[in-house]
Structure 1
Amino acid sequence: MILIITLAALLFGGLFYVAALQSALPPRRWALLGCLFGPAAFPLFMAKRRWSLICARGMAYALLRA
């Protein structure tokens, strides 16, 4: 049981590390959060990713154009 939890923590840490690198977020911080909280940190990651995109592009930029 402990082996499965450890492997899952490493897996989620690696996945969050790669996703943070692709999103220009600090990868070590997100890897640590992924190891500690697993998939429960995903909504927080997506919110931070969206917020950094809005800050970089500005509020007037539309992500979806009709």
Structure 2
Amino acid sequence: MMLAVFLLAPLSGLLFYIAALQSALPPRRWAMLGCLLGPAVLPMFMARRRWSLVSARGSRYALIRA
């Protein structure tokens, strides 16, 4: 079990680095968090990405239109 965690953490770091580059977030910070904590960082990453999008568009812009 621990071997899987140790192998999954660097892979998560690489995937978070690529996703952060695509989302205009600081890639080194997310890669480091991905390497340290593995896939447990995913909810935090998704929330930060969403907050970045809302901040860029403004609060009056509807993301989902009826």
Tell me the residue number matched to 1:13.
13
In the alignment of these two chains, the number of paired residues is 66
Identity of aligned residues (%): 70
In 1, Cα distance between the equivalents of 2:2 and 2:39?
18
The equivalent residue for 2:58 is: 58
Cα displacement (A) at 1:11:
0.3
2:23 corresponds to 1:23? yes
CA-based RMSD of the aligned residues comes to 1.4
Q: Aligned-pair distance for 1:10?
A: 1.1
Q: Unaligned stretches of 5+ in structure 2?
A: none
CA distance in structure 1 between the aligned counterparts of 2:21 and 2:39, rounded to whole angstroms: 17
| Structure-1-length-normalised TM-score | 0.90
| Structure 1 unmatched runs, 5+ | none
The whole-number CA distance in structure 1 between the counterparts of 2:15 and 2:58 is 28
